[in-house]
Chain A
Amino acid sequence: MAFANPLALLGFLSLIPIVILYLIKPKPRDIKIPSLMFILDAERKEHRYETMLRKIIRDPLMLMQLLFLILLTLAMAAPFYTANETVRADHTVIIIDASASMQAENPSRFDRAKDAAEKFVSGRTSIIMAKNIPVVVLQRGGRSGAKDTLNRLAPAATTASIGDAILLATNMIEDEKGAIVVISDFSNTDSDSIAAAKMLANADGIDVTYKQVGNDAENIGITYGKLERKGNSYEYICNIKNYMDDKKTVPIEIFRNGKKTLTDSVTVPAYSSELFALTDVKPGATEVSIKQKDSLEVDNRAYIAIPAVDKRKILVVSETKNPPAKIALNSLPDTECSIAKPPVLPSFDDYDLVVIGNITKTSLLPGTFEDLASFVQSGGSLVILASSDLGEIETEGLLPVQISEKAGAAAPETSMPTEFTKDIAFEDVSVITHLISEPADGAIVTVITDDDSPMLAYQKHGSGTVFYSGFGEGDSTWNDFHTRVDYPIFWRQIVDWMSGVHGIEEYNVRTGRMMSLGEVQKVTTPSGKVETDNLLFDEVGGYQVRDDDIAANLYDALESDLSIHPMSEEVRTLTPDLVKADVEKELWTYLIILVMFIAGFELYYLRARGEL
């Protein structure tokens, strides 16, 4: 046994006066009394315990006082001993699987995980929700804080990265005796990453133990979904998978902006899947719901969000009568394209996007670019296409590149993938003529030639954007881009990007995706409103971010598979005693309890004698 505060042992000196007082205490007086019989009777009646005590101990009060001082001094010296035993950790990090499969069954696996977690709460507890990104919901909380947090937790509709959560937990446990408890259904988890993370934790001396919850459950769910534009509307295709061991005819209901518009059914064989297609999906919110009783709700609905896009007015300024660019722009949905031949041009303020095509240095009237600069500054979008004289035209600094000369063939390539370069093979474009140029200060280049001349670049001016395309407006003597199938796609993506319309997949996301909002904003989620600058789509349903409606779906065949591979019985019935360690067992609390007991007994004793 050792003492944490050995100086306090000096308190034993206080015993000396007590002992001296005891030693110099006069002996009991000898008194002759005629009525001893009554004293003996009084002793027998009222002081049976005291008499008994006095038979054993000559001076019980003094013994109590000595004991009081001895124990108090010992308690102040804070004695402890070291024992190697199984104890609950100083700092327990509880990882709760928050994946979609944890919502299965009734009571849900997640509720069972919370119940199990309560038993592991120690003096210092951290809680991590293992979603596709581990989320720390409590850091070094107390017992009550941990229980409150557990009560508040709700499962997510994402996948779970348990391995990442273990690594995070390992980092959270510093130089202390810690333990990690993973509570999950361990259904289709990445066992390799979990095992690797556990080994890393073990290497740091941290025990990682698993607690498995849940049982096998049946499910039919929508495990995949995709939207494709078909003219002015979209086609939705989804995959309905049956995890049950018999064939099921699944009734399907379609809701359009909250109203049921269609019912259908799909027969899905056991352990198989069937496609279901929905055509002519218009802008707005659409919901595909399968009406099959099963153990998991989150994959029984697919949410579709298609943004309503206003018609965008585009002005093409070109000396050419009907350039390919204009043809491509005309073919785009939700656009109204007109062409104007310089020098007389309509007011730019009537347009959302102005495209400057093939022009000469004398085409435009003086002040035209000043008007364009004003148009861009106030939020307009300007596309300037390469032409022979472009380098000699004063563009009022609007051009994102500085053109030096016209050159011959070059090999373009995508230097920075963006929304508007997606799915377009610039490497396949045969460039015969191009303009050698350098990017202007602050310009962003996304496609570049092998001589480092920007082919696609853009730059912000005020509230607007100026975009430069080195491919021109579609001249075969320059390149063959306008003859390629992805040329209209390129223009659609450019127009959508410049008018702030994203791709349809930006409005229909899978759960688990993180969206950076740039600043803290109010976001409406399926379960309520939150304020955040980084939005994690962890619920299925409709979200509203700024003015955009976004649909989030699980679409995960592994999460929809609720089969469980039972782990060992020990893992299923894991109890909170986790860590085998050398533990300093403090004794001062017991000593203080004894001191208080003795003080209480002394008071009782004095009271029994009638001296209090």
Chain B
Amino acid sequence: MIDTEFFNQLNRFSLMVRKRVSSVYAGSRRAVLQGKGIEIVGYREYIPGDDVRTIDWRVYGRTEKLYIRKFEEEKNITTHILLDSSMSMDYSSNGMTKFDYAAMLACGFGYMVTRENEKFAISTFGENIDITPPKRGRGYLLHTIDRLNQTPLEGETKFDHCTQQYGKMIRSKSLVIVISDFLTDLDSIRAGLYRLAPNDLIVISIFDPAEHDLTIAGDVKLHDMETNTVRKTYISPKMKEEYRKLLDDHFEGVRSTCMHIGADYLSFGTNVPIFDAFFEAVRAK
């Protein structure tokens, strides 16, 4: 269950995104980029290939030279939050599932964005993605929290497939936040991240401490949460060591991919207080 108490603590923060806004309804940051928009920010000489509709004929009338109008681009940035809702996110060794923890982070970001009067969307993904259109407003945030509380956790994580589907949703450059345990094939993760790379990207990995340390030992019958594969085995110290190494290598692979595409990579255990994790994420941004 998502705890919204910590939203009060988030009032101090504002999400640091690189944008400028010009409209009354838009966010407060000014964009440095120029493009299609309403407000004229300047003129420059026409170069063949420029859109003829942008030629300011009045100026031509005065100067007999072709000048085109330069507008400030619309800078209302949309935040897309992709939240992993596969079965593996249901794992908990200390009462809080990875999904609950991830959803709180997602809602935290939603809250921050709402405060800036910007649009956001939290879409859950597993084998398929449940796409939600970005909207703004507190009501929408509360509605989203309700929806997340009702979201069933099921299936495997098909990250590549889901990002491919979601990519169509992102029309302009946006802030994309992916929150997942990333317990799936590393190649699929890499492909998905590369697909989202053109956006401002924050990747947050959530893990349960017991999952990382593998606190179990001896004869066990293991059930995979996503695939329902059953394995009888003996967990020896040597095997634990090897398991941790493989796990570390996997997340190192995710981290290095993020570094390569210029995305921020953050990793939190569910034992880390949610506020600390959020503070860390905002500071990094």
Residues from chain B with a CB closer than 8 A to the CB of A34 are 87-89, 91, 98, 181, 183, 208, 211, 224-226
Instruction: Kindly identify, within residues 581 to 612 of chain A, every residue whose CB is under 8 Å from any CB belonging to chain B.
Output: 608-611
Q: Does A18 contact B (CB under 8 A)?
A: no
Residues from chain A with a CB closer than 8 A to the CB of B169 are none
Q: Does A148 contact B (CB under 8 A)?
A: no
**Nearest CB to that of B246 among chain A residues?**
A38
Q: Does B242 contact A (CB under 8 A)?
A: yes
Distance in Å from the Cβ of A353 to the closest Cβ of chain B?
Answer: 105
Instruction: Kindly identify, within residues 1 to 40 of chain A, every residue whose CB is under 8 Å from any CB belonging to chain B.
Output: 27-40
Contact of A31 among B98, B220, B238 (CB under 8 A): B220
Residues from chain B with a CB closer than 8 A to the CB of A40 are 231
Judge whether A609 and B237 touch: CB under 8 Å: yes
Distance in Å from the Cβ of A95 to the closest Cβ of chain B?
Answer: 64
Known: A28-B232, A42-B239, A42-B242. A35 touches B221 (CB 8 A): no
15 contacts between A and B (CB under 8 A): A28-B218, A28-B221, A29-B221, A34-B91, A34-B98, A34-B181, A35-B88, A37-B183, A41-B246, A43-B239, A46-B239, A47-B238, A609-B234, A610-B239, A610-B241
**Nearest CB to that of A34 among chain B residues?**
B88
CA distance A611 to B241 in the complex (A): 12
Contact of B242 among A27, A32, A45 (CB under 8 A): A45
CA distance A40 to B239 in the complex (A): 10
Q: Does B4 contact A (CB under 8 A)?
A: no
CA distance A46 to B234 in the complex (A): 12
Q: Does B282 contact A (CB under 8 A)?
A: no
Judge whether B224 and A37 touch: CB under 8 Å: yes
CA distance A30 to B238 in the complex (A): 21
Distance in Å from the Cβ of A41 to the closest Cβ of chain B?
Answer: 5
Distance in Å from the Cβ of B162 to the closest Cβ of chain A?
Answer: 18
Count chain A CB atoms within 10 A of each CB in B226, B237, B243 and give the residue with the most: B243
Q: Does B250 contact A (CB under 8 A)?
A: yes
Judge whether B220 and A29 touch: CB under 8 Å: yes
CA distance A36 to B237 in the complex (A): 16
Known: A38-B247, A39-B233, A610-B236. A31 touches B222 (CB 8 A): yes
Residues from chain A with a CB closer than 8 A to the CB of B181 are 34
Known: A47-B238, A609-B236, A610-B237. A42 touches B224 (CB 8 A): no
Judge whether B234 and A38 touch: CB under 8 Å: no
Cβ-closest 10 pairs across A and B: A610-B238, A609-B236, A34-B88, A610-B237, A36-B224, A42-B242, A28-B219, A42-B243, A28-B221, A46-B242
Judge whether B223 and A30 touch: CB under 8 Å: yes
CA distance A29 to B246 in the complex (A): 23
Q: Does A313 contact B (CB under 8 A)?
A: no
Binding site for A on B (CB under 8 A): 87-89, 91, 98, 181, 183, 208, 211, 214, 216, 218-227, 229, 231-243, 246-247, 250
Q: Does A406 contact B (CB under 8 A)?
A: no
Residues from chain A with a CB closer than 8 A to the CB of B227 are 36
Judge whether B234 and A39 touch: CB under 8 Å: no
Count chain B CB atoms within 10 A of each CB in A31, A32, A34, A41 and give the residue with the most: A34
Judge whether B241 and A39 touch: CB under 8 Å: no
Distance in Å from the Cβ of B157 to the closest Cβ of chain A?
Answer: 10
CA distance A38 to B232 in the complex (A): 14
Contact of B238 among A29, A38, A51, A608 (CB under 8 A): A608
Residues from chain B with a CB closer than 8 A to the CB of A611 are 236-238
Residues from chain A with a CB closer than 8 A to the CB of B246 are 38, 41-42, 45
Count chain B CB atoms within 10 A of each CB in A29, A37, A610, A611 and give the residue with the most: A37
Q: Does A54 contact B (CB under 8 A)?
A: yes
**Nearest CB to that of B247 among chain A residues?**
A38
Residues from chain B with a CB closer than 8 A to the CB of A43 are 233, 239
Distance in Å from the Cβ of B3 to the closest Cβ of chain A?
Answer: 22
Residues from chain B with a CB closer than 8 A to the CB of A27 are 221
Residues from chain A with a CB closer than 8 A to the CB of B238 are 46-47, 608-611
**Nearest CB to that of A30 among chain B residues?**
B221
CA distance A46 to B243 in the complex (A): 10
CA distance A275 to B250 in the complex (A): 108
Judge whether B222 and A33 touch: CB under 8 Å: yes
CA distance A35 to B246 in the complex (A): 11
Residues from chain B with a CB closer than 8 A to the CB of A35 are 88, 183, 211, 243, 247
**Nearest CB to that of A39 among chain B residues?**
B243
Distance in Å from the Cβ of A7 to the closest Cβ of chain B?
Answer: 37
Judge whether A33 and B233 touch: CB under 8 Å: no
> What 9 additional pairs, Cβ within 8 angstroms, besides A45-B242, A47-B238, A54-B233?
A28-B219, A33-B222, A34-B211, A34-B225, A34-B226, A36-B222, A37-B224, A46-B242, A610-B236
Known: A28-B232, A38-B250. A33 touches B242 (CB 8 A): no
Residues from chain B with a CB closer than 8 A to the CB of A42 are 239, 242-243, 246
CA distance A103 to B229 in the complex (A): 86
Judge whether A32 and B223 touch: CB under 8 Å: yes
Judge whether B224 and A33 touch: CB under 8 Å: yes
CA distance A314 to B237 in the complex (A): 110
Residues from chain A with a CB closer than 8 A to the CB of B98 are 34
**Nearest CB to that of B223 among chain A residues?**
A32
Residues from chain A with a CB closer than 8 A to the CB of B208 are 34
Judge whether A36 and B216 touch: CB under 8 Å: no
**Nearest CB to that of B87 among chain A residues?**
A34
Known: A34-B211, A609-B237. A39 touches B88 (CB 8 A): no
Judge whether A54 and B234 touch: CB under 8 Å: yes
Judge whether A609 and B239 touch: CB under 8 Å: yes
Known: A36-B229, A38-B247, A40-B231. A31 touches B239 (CB 8 A): no
**Nearest CB to that of A29 among chain B residues?**
B220
CA distance A41 to B181 in the complex (A): 18
**Nearest CB to that of B219 among chain A residues?**
A28
Residues from chain B with a CB closer than 8 A to the CB of A51 are 233
**Nearest CB to that of B216 among chain A residues?**
A31
Residues from chain A with a CB closer than 8 A to the CB of B250 are 38
CA distance A54 to B227 in the complex (A): 23
Distance in Å from the Cβ of B156 to the closest Cβ of chain A?
Answer: 11
Distance in Å from the Cβ of A66 to the closest Cβ of chain B?
Answer: 17
**Nearest CB to that of A606 among chain B residues?**
B236
Residues from chain B with a CB closer than 8 A to the CB of A46 are 238-239, 242
Judge whether A33 and B223 touch: CB under 8 Å: yes
Residues from chain A with a CB closer than 8 A to the CB of B226 are 34
Judge whether B221 and A33 touch: CB under 8 Å: no
CA distance A517 to B234 in the complex (A): 85
Per-position binary interface string of chain A over residues 38-61, scored 1 when its CB falls under 8 Å from any chain B CB and 0 otherwise: 111111011100110010000000
CA distance A35 to B238 in the complex (A): 17
CA distance A543 to B91 in the complex (A): 104
Residues from chain A with a CB closer than 8 A to the CB of B224 are 32-34, 36-37
Contact of A39 among B89, B91, B231, B237 (CB under 8 A): B231
